[in-house]
Structure 1
Amino acid sequence: AAGKGTRVRPITHTIPKPMIPILQKPVMEFLLELLRQHGFTEVMVNVSHLAHEIENYFRDGQRFGVEIAYSFEGRIEDGQLIGEAMGSAGGLKKIQNFQPFFDDTFVVLCGDALIDLNLSEAVRRHRQKGAMASMVTKRVPREQVSSYGVVVTDGEGRVKAFQEKPSIEDALSDTINTGIYIFEPEIFEYIPNEISYDIGADLFPKLVEEGVPFYALPMEFEWVDIGKVPDYWQAIRAVLQGEVRQVTIPGKQVRPGIYTGLNVAANWDKIQVEGPVYVGGMTKIEDGVSIIGPAMIGPSCHICAGATIDNSIIFDYSRIGAGVRLVEKLVFGRYCVDRSGDHIDVQEAS
């Protein structure tokens, strides 16, 4: 949970990626629920970018049924926290060097994906193979491989080659790394101290080179990656259309496909609306507004008369002026973002 989330900017200017909301609930909260469901109750969170946002929300984990501690990826200088990238493996090594926390088989998750993986089964298969390291894998369309680590295995599932985000032309397979790992404590013998060291780019190629028992675990599960703005866009659309099993649309259904939070001020007889649509609590929608789903309007928003919200996502505390037409846009604070990730700063533009 330490990355800067550069590919999800401008959202991550003020929200760390694990805190990006899926219908008002942070991505990381879904992950904690999954961990608890499978008996993982001790959780170490590696933080850096906007660490306080994560720590202030989850605190010690008690209200989520788990126990949480935090490791800051960086240093303290003159009383200030200064983030310093250590890489995903380097962050793990820092935790272990502080006080050996990982004394048994452990799972590593990235904080930017919705998953419904059977973690218990994944750990069982990892142990059955006698693996020191395992990664959960999936197959993707060939045109998507350049966004992920590509995995090549032998007939028994042992990893024989690993490519970190190769070009489509150079990719050796269409099986990719999902960012879900299972390790034994002995893995720390292969991670150097006090240098930036990445799991995908550095550790995995080393394990392949040295012949360590390193396996891929192909598993069928729902995996909604939120690594880039288009991914987030697609995730919200999928949730609203009921395609993501682990996410229930909150609030009450006021009309077929139209869900609202508490105390929404709207005369639905004077608003043109086509679902699926979610409107957060304490939002005001004036007469003459047109909302075409899939669309999400966050809490405490004000949508003025004659505005059109068409296949768009509006974050909380946003005001959409009279007659404004938003088509396939994401409105977040002072930014208006299209589905490709291109954006304008509305304050600067004005």
Structure 2
Amino acid sequence: MRAVILAGGQGTRLKPYTAVLPKPLMPVGDMPIVEILIRQLQSNGVDRITFALGHLAHLVQAVLGNGKRYGVEIDYSIEDKRLGTSGPLSLIRDLNETFLVLNGDVLTDLDFLDITRFHADQKSTITIACHKRSVNIDYGVIHRDGFRVTEYEEKPVIELYVSMGVYVFEPAVLSYVDPETYLDFPDLVNRLIHKNEQVKIYPYDGIWFDLGRFEDFNRVHEIWDDLKPKILSHE
């Protein structure tokens, strides 16, 4: 199976560190973020990984090479202008079978084989791994019907499903990605929905951190000794 890791962003949320080190190479414990992803994917049956790179691409290539030492084949697609979060897929020409897509700053214990099976069972065009998050509203919220108040709710907590940055794609998705044109994932997903494609969610309540956020990045460092055996449990 094949995976695409999207790692071309400038890592603005982690500056100033990412001014000199691309986000995929930021350390988590004793290894870079991206090595954790590679090891997880390899242990879940992925034998080829394509990195979509941009910012400081040469450093990622120098560290990872051809992937031989990880037991996978690694190749690269490099954008020479910003293409958003899904636009870089237009540069990868031979995605002919079901494939995984991951953000390069994801840390999770999600079972990639299971989400792939779920995707096939659901006959999805795209499956989005989602995590439930609670949002605290620090105000009294007014519900209304026109000018008539129907309910006054004090400091409600709203539960939402958010994208984890892990996806399973069918090759048909690529027909919605214009060549070398800026396109973000929400716009791509909405295109698919408007065309009545099968867009499904894979709810997941296990470990998930967005390492592009300082809060998550720092938290993971604090608890890494406990997290590591869970994150790499399939090895």
Partner of 1:135: 128
Partner of 2:20: 14
SS in 2 for 1:140: strand
Q: 1:37 to 1:218 in 2, by over 3 A?
A: same
Matches within 5 A, 1:25-40: 25-40=31-46
Is 1:54–2:60 an aligned residue pair? Answer: yes
SS in 2 for 1:85: coil
SS in 2 for 1:180: strand
CA RMSD in angstroms comes to 2.0
Task: Choose from 83, 92, 99 the match for 2:89.
Answer: 92
C-alpha deviations, 1:208-263, integer Å up to 9, x for none? Answer: 222111100112332122112222111101214x2454468xxxxxxxxxxxxxxx
Q: Whole-Å Cα distance in 2 between the matches of residues 209 and 172 of structure 1?
A: 26
Matches within 5 A, 1:95-134: 95-96=92-93, 101-134=94-127
Q: 1:173 to 1:205 in 2, by over 3 A?
A: farther
Q: 1:172 to 1:234 in 2, by over 3 A?
A: closer
Partner of 2:177: 191
Cα drift, residue 5 of structure 1 = 0.2
Q: Which structure carries more relative contact order (alpha carbon 8 Å, separation 6+)?
A: 2
Q: Whole-Å Cα distance in 1 between the matches of residues 215 and 47 of structure 2?
A: 32
Matches within 5 A, 1:1-350: 1-74=7-80, 84-96=81-93, 101-143=94-136, 174-200=160-186, 202-240=187-225, 242-246=226-230
TM-score (norm 1): 0.57
TM-score (norm 2): 0.83
Q: 1:222 to 1:245 in 2, by over 3 A?
A: farther
Structure 2 stretches lacking a partner, 5+ long: 1-6, 138-154
Cα drift, residue 72 of structure 1 = 0.6
Amino acid aligned to 2:41: L
Q: Whole-Å Cα distance in 1 between the matches of residues 199 and 29 of structure 2?
A: 37
Q: Contact 1:134 / 1:182 at 8 angstroms: preserved in 2?
A: yes
Amino acid aligned to 2:54: S
Partner of 1:314: none
Q: Contact 1:239 / 1:247 at 8 angstroms: preserved in 2?
A: no
Q: 1:196 to 1:234 in 2, by over 3 A?
A: same
SS in 2 for 1:87: coil
Structure 1 stretches lacking a partner, 5+ long: 75-83, 145-168, 249-350
Identity of aligned residues (%): 29
C-alpha deviations, 1:54-82, integer Å up to 9, x for none? Answer: 100000000011000011111xxxxxxxx
Q: Whole-Å Cα distance in 1 between the matches of residues 163 and 60 of structure 2?
A: 25
